[in-house]
Chain A
Amino acid sequence: MKILSKEVLASDKGARIVKVIVQSPDIAAKAKAGQFVVLMVKEEGERIPLTIVKADPSKGSIELIAQEAGLTTRLLAATKTGDSLYSITGPLGHPTDIKRYGKVILVGGGVGIAEILPVAKALKDAGNNVTAIIGSRNKELLILERELKTASDECIVITDDGSYGRKGFVTQALKELLESSKYDLVYAVGPIPMMKTVSVITKPLGVLTLVSLNAIMVDGTGMCGCCRVSVNNEVKFSCVDGPEFDASQIDWDELSKRNSIYCEKEKHICRI
């Protein structure tokens, strides 16, 4: 659980996106694209889920990328090379179903770019034609552009404020692509409003659309149901039944409300 290295990938007005490489041979040996870990930074800390961005079985390490959004991610960002995490468990969740779909689009928003990277690599290796659309608020917060360009046949970069690449939202670019050509799969990770918009765009077109959900989790092993989501009107646990689901079947409104359960408490602990 030793941190082998830490690097700040992006920083804007004090909000940073960091990459940590953690020694974890057992997880590295088994991790597949789409899976995640649950970690605790300190003994008094909480358990948070993070996607495994890269696993290196030969070095026995895994790579995690997190954006400072609350206390735990700030604590993670404050760690130094050589520090140890209190606990890390994984790999959790179902791996992405990697096969030859044909033409696929991957959409990553914000730190979600890190989460589409392993899937993009795996899909490209499986012989798919991969288009990546990556977007962030501004130039400062854009991460992994070079990596996504390597992992895709085409990579479209977008910023909300136009400070880099195209100006606008990733969903606009997605809409244009889908209007101009036929695609076989859309895979999206990012903030809930973004994933919901993706779903709104793709549903009438009937394009298979997978999203990796970011519900609140505790154990991450199916024991508590904190991460439950309604998928096609059935209750599913994101941690064991997901985290990927068919976007067209998700009750986005419910997910978005459930993700705000602890807003007050999070604000409180972040002020301390």
Chain B
Amino acid sequence: MKKEPIRPKEKDIIPRVKGFDEVVQGFSEQEALQEAARCIQCKDPKCIAGCPVGIDIKAFINQITKKDHDGAYFTICQKNNFPSICGRICPAEYQCRKACVFTNKRSPFASKEAINIHFLERFVGDNGARKGLQAKAEGNNKYSGMKVAVVGSGPAGLCCAGELAKRGIKAVIFEGLHKTGGVLRYGIPPFRLPNNILDLEIDSLKKLGVEIKTNYIIGRVKTIDELFAEGFRAIFLGLGAGVPSFIGIPGENLCNIYSANEFLTRVNLMRAHKFPEYHTPVNIGKHIIVIGGGNTAIDAARVALRLQHMNGIEQDTSISYRRTEAEMPARRLEIEHAREEGVKFDLLVKPESFVGDEKGFVRKMRSSRCKLAEQNNSGRRRPIVIPDSSFEADCDLAIIAIGSGANKILTSVTPRLAIDQYGNVTINPETMETSIKGVFAGGDITAGEGTVIEAMGMAKKASCAILNYLEKRYN
């Protein structure tokens, strides 16, 4: 008989909104053992297929029940180098947990009873990181000495570099910013993914032999042809989808209207919440509206709310979304946390324009109410504006989080690199190869905005494709 699921402890709401400490505390060993004991070790486990990188979930949970936490770590690392990251940020309710036998078949996402696989993964990952356990390189001498360039140090690039390094290949990551991690650093706030955890995971990659060059923009400093000329045998592009989309409504360039990328970069990467100790400024409003319904919108709202608290401003941060909560792409846990923390949700609302003052700062947002169209074949129900439903809300800071597109710095100087109508790099989905021989790609640059684990899954596939390519070409 299955017992009640164990939920990890969370930091209390009042202290947590005054800072950026991690909210979810993670399992103690006792809790991990109890939760692991709920797993019935299915003969034909479906959870494994639900994981984009195919972690042997059944095996590692079984190892936890035997208190073989180190063994569990190595089981996970066969498929995933970043258990502490993925255990924290994977949308498990749509992936491994949704496939768990305890999930009700009719549920759109994992049932509460589904095993908390992600929290168990995190427990194992943190234990491994604390002990300095290291995923082992497989040491295939055939490839040793071969160099592969990895462009971008986000989830896709880190994952690809790790997989290659494990097979004895010299992976060199080129990162444009001054710090590594891509969206894990500038996008996801420390209260979901603490910087020290990210640093530990990246350090363990370096121990595998991965080299990282920061402040290095491929497309500006070096072209693809120059990388090949320098002896790189293959190139992986994990450029991400870093270019923010704007809505295109009047008043959107008023002062204090940020893209979520800018707002989060200022705080997460540049630490603007610690101004003037850190020198990057960020403005804070009394009435903050975040537009969008994905994880980025929730992150931005929770950061904004914390800035209000830290500056003694009465909290008024709301999320404005065109559909209802059921359609929000954000993780359920984050929506729940945001609501607990005091983020307001203004649903079925479509922004029409921003109104500013004489100095050019935003003061109001005009919006219309929407209703949802009937379900059609295209999937999500489309929002339809209700005529004459226009209304005005106070807004002295707005954050646009409606998605992002492909960065064109590299593609614009590489005409041979085929891209689609959105500027994303076109790949052969089987081989992950781009239109240029020896150049592979994965993650958001190939398919718009996705999840961290999806990017890692694609990068992993690309790393196998790169090995195949090297095998065929240089054997």
Contact = CB atoms under 8 A, between A and B. Distances in A.
Interface of A: 26-27, 29-30, 40, 42, 44-47, 71-72, 86-92, 218-219, 221-226, 228-230, 235, 240, 253-254, 257-258, 260-262, 265-266, 268-269, 272
Contact of A224 (B220, B244, B256): B244
Given A26-B216, A221-B176, A258-B253, A226 B262 contact: yes
Contacts of B387: none
A44 B269 CA distance: 10
Nearest to A35: B220
A68 to B, nearest CB: 15
A240 B262 contact: no
A44 B254 CA distance: 28
A47 B266 CA distance: 10
Contacts of B279: 42, 44-46, 71-72, 269
Interface of B: 176-178, 186, 214-217, 220-222, 242-244, 246, 248, 252-256, 258-259, 261-262, 265-266, 270-271, 275-281, 283, 359-360, 407-409
Contact of B265 (A223, A261, A265): A223
B473 to A, nearest CB: 28
Contact of A261 (B215, B248, B256): B256
A253 B359 CA distance: 10
Given A222-B407, A224-B261, A257-B255, 20 more contacts: A29-B221, A42-B279, A89-B178, A89-B215, A91-B220, A92-B220, A221-B242, A221-B409, A223-B265, A226-B258, A228-B253, A230-B253, A235-B248, A254-B360, A257-B359, A257-B360, A265-B281, A265-B283, A269-B279, A269-B281
Contact of A235 (B221, B246, B283, B408): B246
A87 B176 CA distance: 11
Contacts of A29: 221
A262 B277 contact: no
Given A260-B359, A265-B281, A221 B275 contact: no
A172 to B, nearest CB: 29
B178 A224 contact: no
Given A224-B244, A224-B262, A268 B360 contact: no
A35 B348 CA distance: 44
B359 to A, nearest CB: 7
- Chain B's interface: helix, strand, loop or mixed, by majority? loop
A254 B258 CA distance: 15
User: Interface residues of A: mostly helix, strand, loop or mixed?
Assistant: mixed
Nearest to B278: A44
Given A91-B220, A218-B266, A268-B276, A223 B281 contact: no
Given A89-B178, A260-B359, A262-B283, A221 B217 contact: yes
A113 to B, nearest CB: 26
B261 A223 contact: yes
3 tightest A-B contacts by CB? A257-B360, A224-B262, A265-B281
B220 A222 contact: no
Contacts of A268: 276
A222 B266 CA distance: 14
Given A223-B243, A272-B276, A46 B270 contact: yes
Contacts of A91: 220-221
Contacts of A86: 178
Given A26-B216, A235-B253, A254-B360, A218 B265 contact: yes
Contact of B280 (A47, A90, A254): A47
A222 B178 contact: no
A258 B280 CA distance: 16
Contacts of A71: 279
A91 B243 CA distance: 19
Contact of A44 (B265, B271, B283): B271
Contacts of A30: 220-221
A221 B410 CA distance: 11
A8 B178 CA distance: 28
B178 A40 contact: yes
Contacts of B254: 257
Give the most central of B256, B280, B283: most A CB within 10 Å.
B280
A260 B262 CA distance: 17
A219 B265 contact: yes
Nearest to A70: B279
Contacts of B261: 223-225
Nearest to A91: B220
A225 B129 CA distance: 36
A240 B275 contact: no
A38 to B, nearest CB: 9
A229 B252 CA distance: 11
A74 to B, nearest CB: 11
A205 to B, nearest CB: 28
Contacts of A229: 253
A221 B177 CA distance: 9
B245 to A, nearest CB: 9
